Structure 1
Amino acid sequence: MEENKNLEKTYDPKQVEERLYKKWMDNDYFHAVIDKEKDPYTIVIPPPNITGQLHMGHALDNTLQDILIRWKRMQGYSTLWLPGTDHASIATEAKIVEAMAKEGITKEAIGREKFLERAWEWKKLYGGRIVEQLKKLGSSCDWKRERFTMDEGLSEAVKEVFIRLYNKKLIYRGERIINWCPKCNTSISDAEVEYEEKEGSFWHIKYPVKDSNEFIVVATTRPETMLGDTAVAVNPDDERYKHLLGKMVILPLVNREIPIIADSYVDKDFGTGAVKITPAHDPNDFEVGLRHNLPQIKVMNDDATMNENARQYQGMDRYEARKQMIEDLRNMDLLLKIQPHNHNVGTCYRCSTVIEPMISKQWFVHMKPLAEPAIETVKNGTIKFVPERFAKIYFNWMENIQDWCISRQLWWGHRIPAYYCKKCGKVIVAADMPDVCPDCGGTEFLQDPDTLDTWFSSALWPFSTLGWPENTEELAYFYPTSVLVTGYDIIFFWVARMIFSGLEQMGKEPFKYVFIHGIVRDEQGRKMSKSLGNGIDPLEVIDKYGTDSLRFALTIGVSPGSDLRFSDKKVESSRNFTNKVWNASRFVLMNFDENIDFSKVKEGRFTVADKWILTRINNLSKEITENMERFEAGIALQKVYEFIWEEFCDWYIELVKPRLYDKEHESRLEAQYVLNYTLGNALKLLHPFMPFITEEIYCHLINDDESIMVSKWPEYIEKYNYSEDEAKMQLIMEAVRSVRNIRAEMNVPPSRKAKIIFVASGVKEVKILEEGKMYFEKLASASDVVVQQDKNGISEDAVSSVIAGAEIFIPLDALVDIEKEIERLEKEKINLEKELERVKGKLSNQGFVAKAPEKVIEEEKSKLMKYQEMYDKVVERIKGLSNG
């Protein structure tokens, strides 16, 4: 705690945030210590790409993680939030190649070794940028334990896993369909394929049946792949084609005979019910081909030009070939029709080139044996998805999982630890290059040129970052981790891979919970994208409003798994709350005595208002803890916000002002104590969400803590359970609200005091309302307060309201000067008569009605109704006041 002194007049995040973050770092508050006396709480950060720039998705994801970590740290856990970055093979290599191109250099020209030197230099210069941006967000990561997916320890872990899986025959090299980017010249993962809706066509092509006048018509969106067709498939239950099963068709353009086969994969109600089967260029066709032992004919090169199997189209670009083939089919009268067809087309996330599914010799992980225990651990509840509905997505993907292509034709990344004997070609998988071939005694080897998919290393993240394969103390203490926080878009690509990797290598699940959040959308609910130009830079928001305002806007009211809409209005609302908290705290501190001594506080002098606010903060602490345990951060923040703004600022501070201003008041010290206690606990509850402003204020309050970060999380305390006093205060507050509503409806200025008469329903209510007299004088502008149990002496013109436990009466003449009010209303009546006369005149003028547009006439009719209604009310009011 700092020496008690007043806060600055206004809160300036720029003057506070950097200073406080440095304080936290200097004091090692983020660093996790192995403490057997404490339970561990671990989160590993979803490692952002070293090429990355902080965007709203990062901001939300890391804010939620920081909220959990700060909360658990205050609860007394040994908390580890382990940070790090991903080497991002494709994105990083593309950036370096792009930079080299400006110098007129290619990677092939300088060779692998020189290229990697450049890559590491690039990482050194730019790779830490996003880490610095995460710090601006207030992330309380253990930066001393920061890892990189290609650092020495993680590289050893990657090799170890590859070798283990290979020896168990769970990694193999073979030919299967993969996603191929013709521009980046590499296979890419499903996660790196972005789908865009494009205008396309369905080309209906006639395939002549051999020794017949019949045709089978197939429809395709990629006619250039037909040159690799090795069958036409129909559904076995399709009566239209049963007579053709076993026969051959002549493949147009290349005149190759291919069979007509039956396979239940074909949907007989879609298109023509006949499907061309191209095993080398379509994942579903590949599976059909395996079932029917069909040849695999690849018709494209790696750069998406047509190869020798394309015959006369060899050397053409795929789209150039498509155009020529369609023209040739038309000339041969084999093109039946072309239908416009919009469909999702896979593109490379890095270069936006359309992906070509094609067969390729790559390294794969055999997934079925790994998926089974990973499915079971979620089914039996060892790992829980929050919200639960996302487990269905996980099951759907895992139960239909395909083998995972893990090799990439890149230089930046973990090189595959496979070596080929130059003499006999034997493949040896080992951590280092072997000395001698066990088969032929050869001593010269070539290492596989490919690198591993980035997801292969990030799949090991929860345990490789803790020192595995070494049995480190950190691994034993912090693994399994507690929760993984991530967006719903990478459940398959990352979450599933971490689960099966943890179970396979560690024999334990990598985390207990998977907390799924939605994505940040714009004000209209649209996904943020470059093409729409609707992205919002979180760093610009921080610069303008401060980090706490950004974090508040990202969290408030959001429930797990739900998308959120982000707008400037939301951040401005956050800033308003920040100012409210600051100003209220300044008021509290300014009303503390110089040498205040809370050891002299006597609970017997607590007022009903004191006991009410102590009970409310007590109950709130319990509620917020329960919300946090259910990962309901958005709901928790909403409750803290409402408590601070409404109950503490708008009610309690106003209630205690008379005691604070009266230096001789017998319970002034108690008022100061309750303010300090309540504000301190409210700031603690707010701290995980808004760390900077809460730290700055808390260190000016009276407490023994050096930082709010390491203060104790508020817990429910039985002695501050004044439930009866809470109920009393609720009645008093309801009465105040009711009086305020009456005054507002009658436009009575706050300066005009009025007598309030309560008719209580029982002795208990009489006592409560009597006790609340000073509050009605302060908060309801009461000149006098009378509490009784009957309606004796109450004038008939008194304005009334009913609340639970009492009726409220305010004499009319106490609210308004009747003569002056009648005088004002008479003037208003004259003005309304003039308006009515004017509008009636217009509408009775036939010339106006004949020439004016219908819209104008309707507007005048609406005015007539409005003025007439106002006039009637004024007349009625004058009558009521005159009779009174």
Structure 2
Amino acid sequence: MVTSAPENPQNPADALPKSWDPSAVEAELYQGWVDAGYFQADPTSEKPGYSIVLPPPNVTGSLHMGHALDHTLMDALTRRKRMQGFETLWLPGMDHAGIATQTVVEKQLAADGKKKEDLGREQFVEKVWDWKRESGGTIQGQMRRIGDGVDWSRDRFTMDEGLSRAVQTIFKRMYDDGLIYRAERLVNWSPVLQTAISDIEVKFEEVEGELVSLRYGSLNDDEPHVVVATTRVETMLGDTAVAVHPDDERYKHLVGTTIFHPITERQIPVIADDYVDPTFGTGAVKITPAHDPNDFEMGLRHNLPMPTIMDKAGKIADSGTRFDGMDRFEARVAIREELAEQGRVVAEKRPYLHSVGHSERSGETIEPRLSMQWWVKVESLAKAAGDAVRNGDMVIHPASQEPRWFAWVDHMHDWCISRQLWWGHRIPIWYGPNGEIECFGPDETAPEGWEQDPDVLDTWFSSGLWPFSTMGWPENTPELEKFYPTSVLVTGYDILFFWVARMMMFGTYVAGDDALGGGKVPFKDLFLHGLVRDQYGKKMSKSRGNGIDPLDWVERFGADALRFTLARGANPGSDLAVGEDHAQSSRNFANKLFNATKFALMNGAVVTELPARGELTDADRWVLDRLEQVRAEVDEAFEKFEFSKACEALYHFAWDEVCDWYLELAKVQLAEEGNRPAHTRAVLGAVLDSLLRLLHPVIPFVTETLWKVLTGGESLVIASWPAATGVATDADAARRIEDMQKLVTEVRRFRSDQGLKPSQKVAARLNEIDAADLASQVPAVRSLARLTEPEDGFAATASVEVRLSRATVTVELDTSGTIDVAAEIARLRKDLAVAEKELAGTSAKLGNEAFLAKAPAQVVEKITARKQIAEEEIARFTARLAELGQA
């Protein structure tokens, strides 16, 4: 638990709890940010604008790992831009999710033994609104839990009055421009929901079915007949042709004739079409235009009849056979049995594994069905969306996703936008008593006696307007002027085609509109991240039981740990695998940061003006230079949306360099006389101040807690982002520190090999220190390697030789009574084997005339130097082994 700080703490560190407990502080910190208005955007500000709109989650949904990744990355981007001095808008909202929401409420009615028809349309829609007000929006509370810095004052819903106005406005414009039309075409039909559904709501699954080969025409081998194979026997009731390839010699004599249909007993034509693959199966296929997408296109080409032989519920209807009234799957069995009795089943393959589309919402098999629907003519819109990327108006990150973008928008089919639902945006088309059809905009009223189209619009239609409808379009608003086009869209590559393409089509369509300030595209950058997978790289799913609830991780490890785990794995276009070990590691990182800052505060770290560079130690200059290098790496990575690189750079700098080295070096400097301790406290303060700022966008809670105590500042949310210092890097200081680190590491390794306790001090003499230019680092070496000054009568019993950048330093140690001779011999033999392998490898390359003839001179020089070092090390290890009687 967080302990309350004393009223007059003796040290700033006393204001911190004993240990980091995220659950005790996160909620209060977040509410404080919201109450202070830090996340509210001011469109009248003179600061440059930066904006992101949240991909609207379904009102029925809850936060899953994909959302958590999305939100973490968007929050990191907006927090950083805010700190860089931008007027930042991250606009939240939710989608009304037509099918999902209607299904939820229909299930509630079913539990009471009712159907929506029992209530009527108006009463049912009101009941859905009631559900939305009472139960919808669970995800909003979850967004707060992970620290989303959204502008809650601008929270939008796709069926808000303003957004509904935008929907009606653009529908009428497109209808008047001839881009929206009504036609009978093939759609994905859900017999359970009894509506057309979009491609994204169809999930394809491998299922075990049956492949049945059927004989059409005569049962007499000497008379015309063909054999076709199908997995959907029941659709043969809607057959209007059999098709073969025009060059298939086997069937040329049949093309242009008719053949007997074994169930309907009609004569159907045999047609020739290039679509047919003559090498697949028998080379002949049955054509059912009203129940198969490919057959539909062939039906159009050959002007075939297109009878629909199933009703909205998926039952056989109007086929003129005894199978009318049967469920489609019941009919499949019955028809196959009848054909078998006729002797027309030539072959059956069971089980036959094939991919079948299923409704994501209701789970049943989707039925391709000919249906009268409303459509968007996409050719010109899709071309504009493609050209926007080709022209550089929008940039896709990573660029490797561009071919997939072009493959989609350059070959897009017209978009079915009508749904046979009651919940959603009602299509603004009205029908008059004398057959009139009119589209009325938001400020127009249909004449009395006219009836509105009963269908609603596809949810993707309204969410496609999201970047500008949420800011007040079609009105000319300050928000649009300041924040449109938005800066970046962050989303998964898996919905590139469905949502992103819709927004680009709408955005380019309204480009030049006065209210949009001539914006050509809805967002300037498109960042596509990958899918979150489990620790084994498997896709998370309910069936596998490997899903991870992000709120569970928040409870157990803290929001920062969740966020850092996701951001650390996020690279453009790449999937990321996460597991509990990753979350625990991130939690450990937060703890490390907390403990390091608390230690610094306990030792007087302060944020103040830094001393002149000449007054600083090598360690001070080194850590400040490394901080500047990391800042530059982080800035570059953020600009390229390479979150993983930014997080890795910060993690290793914080843990490996600040905590593992500089804090230890600071202990040495704090014990010295003069100005050294004060200078060290200032450097500690400066490094931690900047480090916490750099980490804040990804892990806001622990950084906020520490930074406020360290600096006394109001909040990191509104603090400035670290800027370039412009100070030249001290290469000599970096070299000396790197050599010191190598020397200490090797001595520590030797001690570990000998089984010496880390706290055990050993007398040692350091040779060639001056030659190595490390005289200034001797106090640090002795402190960090636990080496004491040798006394009179010192006699070395062991030594460690370390080749550094300018000389080889020999550390002679008196390990009498402590050294494990057997372990030392084993260590030397191991090192000798490594050196001998290196010598063999380099000698082989330098003895290869073909290699020497092709290799650049600098490469040969490096290999020659490596060979020389290996020879020297072999000599040293051999000599040391001889001293131990191992000649």
Alpha-carbon RMSD across the aligned residues, in angstroms, is: 2.5
Q: Which string of whole-angstrom CA distances, capped at 9 and with x for unpartnered residues, describes residues 351-399 of structure 1?
A: 1011101000011111112111111111222212111122222211222
Aligned twin of 1:83: 92
* Counterpart selection for 2:278 from 260, 268, 271: 268
C-alpha displacement of 1:683: 0.8
Contact 2:44/2:478 (<8 A) preserved? no
Task: Give the % identical residues.
Answer: 45
Secondary structure in 2 aligned to 1:243? coil
CA contact (8 A) 2:753 2:823 kept: no
Aligned to 1:561: 573
**What is residue 748 of structure 1 aligned with on the other side?**
756
* Contact 1:234–1:273 under 8 Å retained in 2: yes
Q: Distance in 1 between the 2:45 and 2:104 partners? A: 46
Q: How many residues align?
A: 812
Residues 728-766 of structure 1 deviation map (CA, whole Å, 9 limit, x = unaligned): 222222222222222223333331323243436xx7x54
2:480 counterpart residue number: 475
SS at match of 2:488: strand
Per the alignment, do residues 406 and 519 of structure 1 end up closer, same or farther by CA in structure 2, a change over 3 Å counting? same
Which residue of 621, 626, 633 maps to 1:623?
633
Q: Are residue 380 (structure 1) and residue 430 (structure 2) matched?
A: no
Instruction: Say which of 565, 573, 577 aligns to 2:589.
Output: 577
Query: Paired residue for 1:671?
Result: 680
Q: Which amino acid aligns with 1:775?
A: A
After TM superposition, the structure 1 = structure 2 runs for residues 760-771 of structure 1, keeping only pairs within 5 Å, are 766=772, 768-771=773-776
Cα distance in 2, alignment partners of residues 274 and 721 from structure 1: 75
Question: In the TM superposition, what is the alpha-carbon distance from 1:599 to its structure 2 partner?
Answer: 5.2
Partner of 2:344: 334
Say whether residues 1:322 and 2:332 are aligned partners: yes
Partner of 1:638: 648
Question: What residue in structure 2 maps to residue 259 of structure 1?
Answer: 269
Pairing of 1:275-294 with structure 2 (within 5 A): 275-294=285-304
- Unmatched segments (≥5 aa) in structure 2: 1-7, 513-519, 826-878
Equivalence for 2:162:
153
Instruction: Give the direction of change, closer, same or farther, for the CA distance of 1:822–1:238 in structure 2 (3 Å limit).
Output: closer
Q: Distance in 1 between matches of 2:824 and 2:469?
A: 81
Q: What's 2:62 paired with? A: 53
Structure 1 residue 350: Cα displacement: 0.9
Q: Unpaired runs of 5+ in structure 1?
A: 438-442, 787-792, 827-875
AA aligned to 2:378 is: M
Change (3 A) 1:878 1:294: closer
CA distance in 1, matches of 2:425, 2:355: 32
Compared with structure 1, are the counterparts of its residues 797 and 701 closer, same or farther at alpha carbon in structure 2 (3 Å cutoff)?
closer
Aligned residue runs from structure 1 range 768-847, under 5 A:
768-784=773-789, 798-811=799-812, 814-817=814-817, 821=820
Q: Does residue 610 in structure 1 map to residue 615 in structure 2? A: no
Q: How far apart are 1:245 and its partner, in Å? A: 1.4
Query: Is 2:486 the counterpart of 1:464?
Result: no
**Aligned 8 A contact 1:268 1:274 in 2:** yes
Q: CA deviation at 1:13?
A: 0.7
Which of 559, 564, 588 pairs up with 1:547?
559
Determine helix, strand or coil for the equivalent of 2:321.
Answer: helix
In the TM superposition, what are the counterparts of 1:100-111 in structure 2 within 5 Å?
A: 100-111=109-120
Shift of 1:194: 1.1
Instruction: Using the TM superposition, give the Cα deviation of residue 821 of structure 1 relative to its aligned residue in structure 2, in angstroms.
Output: 5.0
- Aligned partners of 2:56 and 2:823: how far apart in 1? 70
Residue 732 in structure 1 maps to residue 740 in structure 2 = yes
TM-score after normalising by structure 1: 0.88
What is the aligned partner in structure 2 of residue 881 from structure 1? 884
SS in 1 for 2:50: strand
TM-score normalised according to structure 2 size: 0.88
- For residue 825 of structure 1, report the CA deviation from its aligned partner: 11
2:695 maps to 1:686: yes
Shift in CA distance, 877/611, structure 1 to aligned 2, threshold 3 Å: closer
Tell me, what secondary structure is at the counterpart of 2:186?
strand
Residue 367 (str. 1) matches residue 378 (str. 2): yes
Aligned-residue offset at 1:133: 0.7
Q: Deviations over 1:229-267 (max 9, x none)?
A: 111111222222222211111122001111111111112
1:311 and 2:308 aligned: no
Contact between 2:796 and 2:815, CA under 8 Å: does it hold in 1? no
In the TM superposition, 1:171-210 aligns within 5 A as 171-208=180-217
The one-letter amino acid of 1:748's match is: L
1:883 Cα offset (Å): 8.3
Identify the residue that residue 418 of structure 1 maps to in structure 2: 429
Using the TM superposition, give the Cα deviation of residue 277 of structure 1 relative to its aligned residue in structure 2, in angstroms: 1.2
Alpha-carbon separation, structure 2, partners of 1:65 and 1:327: 58
Change (3 A) 1:491 1:574: same
Question: Equivalent of 1:404, from 411, 415, 420?
Answer: 415
**Aligned AA (1:327):** E
Deviation at 1:649, TM superposition (A): 0.4
| SS of residue matched to 1:268 | coil
CA distance in 2, matches of 1:475, 1:283: 41
CA contact (8 A) 1:483 1:512 kept: yes
Equivalent position SS for 1:772: helix
Which amino acid letter does the alignment assign opposite residue 501 of structure 1?
F
Structure 2 residue identity aligned to 1:129 = T
Instruction: Determine whether 1:660 maps to 2:683.
Output: no
Classify 1:221/1:310 alpha carbon distance in 2 versus 1 (closer, same or farther; 3 Å): farther
Letter in 1 for 2:173: R
Change in Cα spacing, 1:352 to 1:883, as seen in structure 2 (3 Å) is closer
Determine the C-alpha separation between the residues in 1 that align with 2:618 and 2:647. Answer: 27
Q: Name the CA distance, whole Å, in 2 between partners of 1:625 and 1:745.
A: 41
User: SS of 2:768's equivalent?
Assistant: strand
Equivalences for residues 245-256 of structure 1 within 5 A: 245-256=255-266
- Correspondence for 2:493: 488
- Classify the secondary structure of the residue corresponding to 1:311: coil
Question: C-alpha distance in 1, partners of 2:265/2:755?
Answer: 92
Where 2:399 maps in the other structure, the secondary structure is: coil
> Residue 756 of structure 1 contacts residue 808 of structure 1 at CA under 8 Å; is this kept in 2?
no
